[in-house]
C-alpha cells in the first residue's frame, strides 16, 4: 500500500472520485472514506486544498457543505458585485448624502532627486531605485509631503464615517 504523498495526480483524483461517490461529499467524509477504502490518512484541509488546486479536474464532483444530506449545495463563492465609485447613502434624518471624489488631474512630474527637492515640494517617488530615485517635485499643501494628486493616491477617500463627518457635525450642532 502506498501513501497519499507518493501518489500521482491522476491516482489522487481517482481515489477522491471513488470516495466522493460513496459518501456525502464533504471534505471530512471524503477524507474518512479515503482512509476506509485505501488506508490513506488525509486531513479534511488536505482534501479542500486538493480541490482548490485541481478545481478543473474535480468540477463535476464539487465539495458540499457540512449538512450535505439536507441540501447538497456546492461550496462555491459567488462573484462579488462592485459598488459604483460614487455611492449615495441616507443618514438617520433621511438626508441624501452623496460622496463623489473630486477629479484630480495627474501632474507632470519634475523628476527631482532628493537633494534637489525644496520645502513644500512633493516627495512621491516616481522613478529609479535607492540613491537614483526621482521624486514628483510639484507643490504640496500646507501639511502634506505630497501634491494633491499623490496625496489622493496614497490616502484614498476615507471610510464611510470619515466621508460623512460633516453631516454628523451638523446633526450634533
Q: Name 64's bridge partners.
A: 74
93 and 71 fall within a common domain: no
50 and 113 fall within a common domain: no
More confident residue, 62 or 73: 62
Domain extent for 29: 1-79
From 79, 108, 126, give the residue that closes a domain: 79
164 and 113 fall within a common domain: yes
Integer Cα distance of 5 and 21 in angstroms = 22
145 and 93 fall within a common domain: yes
Q: How confident is the model at residue 163 (pLDDT cuts 50, 70, 90)?
A: confident
- Please provide the average confidence, as pLDDT, over all residues in the chain: 79
Where is 27: in which H helix or E strand? helix 27-38
99 and 74 fall within a common domain: no
67 and 136 fall within a common domain: no
Q: Can you read off the three cell numbers belonging to residue 115?
A: 537633494
Give the largest CA-CA distance in the chain: 77
Which residue bears the cell 461517490?
Answer: 21
68 and 7 fall within a common domain: yes
The confidence score (pLDDT) of residue 121 equals: 93
From 16, 49, 79, give the residue that closes a domain: 79
Q: Is 139 helix (H, G, I), strand (E, B) or coil?
A: strand
The confidence score (pLDDT) of residue 59 equals: 83
Q: Is 142 helix (H, G, I), strand (E, B) or coil?
A: coil
116 and 162 fall within a common domain: yes
The confidence score (pLDDT) of residue 149 equals: 86
Residue ranges of E strands in 50-121: 88-90, 96-98
Which pTM was predicted? 0.39
Tell me how many domains the chain contains.
2
Q: Can you read off the three cell numbers belonging to residue 112?
A: 527631482
46 and 108 fall within a common domain: no
112 and 168 fall within a common domain: yes
Contacts (Cβ under 8 Å, ≥6 apart) of 13 = 54, 57, 58
The confidence score (pLDDT) of residue 116 equals: 92
Residue ranges of E strands in 24-166: 88-90, 96-98, 125-127, 134-135
Q: pLDDT tens across 82-139, in order?
A: 555 555 555 555 555 555 555 667 888 899 998 999 989 999 999 888 888 999 999 9
From 53, 79, 105, give the residue that closes a domain: 79
Whether 72 has a pLDDT exceeding 90, the answer reads: no
31 and 75 fall within a common domain: yes
Q: pLDDT tens across 31-53, in order?
A: 999 988 888 888 889 888 888 88
Angle at 25 between CA 70 and CA 64, to 5 degrees: 60
104 and 155 fall within a common domain: yes
Amino acid at each position: 500500500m502506498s501513501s497519499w504523498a507518493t501518489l500521482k495526480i491522476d491516482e489522487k483524483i481517482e481515489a477522491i472520485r471513488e470516495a466522493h461517490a460513496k459518501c456525502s461529499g464533504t471534505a471530512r467524509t471524503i477524507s474518512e472514506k479515503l482512509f476506509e477504502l485505501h488506508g490513506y490518512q488525509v486531513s479534511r484541509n488536505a482534501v479542500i486544498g486538493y480541490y482548490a488546486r485541481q478545481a478543473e479536474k474535480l468540477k463535476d464532483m464539487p465539495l458540499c457543505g457540512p449538512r450535505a444530506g439536507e441540501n447538497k449545495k456546492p461550496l462555491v463563492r459567488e462573484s462579488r458585485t462592485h459598488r459604483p465609485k460614487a455611492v449615495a447613502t441616507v443618514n438617520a434624518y433621511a438626508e441624501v448624502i452623496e460622496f463623489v471624489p473630486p477629479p484630480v488631474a495627474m501632474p507632470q512630474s519634475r523628476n527631482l532627486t532628493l537633494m534637489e527637492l525644496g520645502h513644500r515640494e512633493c516627495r512621491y517617488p516616481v522613478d529609479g531605485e535607492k540613491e537614483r530615485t526621482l521624486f514628483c517635485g510639484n507643490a504640496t499643501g500646507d501639511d502634506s509631503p505630497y501634491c494633491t494628486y499623490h496625496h489622493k493616491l496614497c490616502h484614498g477617500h476615507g471610510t464611510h464615517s470619515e466621508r460623512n463627518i460633516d453631516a454628523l457635525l451638523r446633526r450634533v450642532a
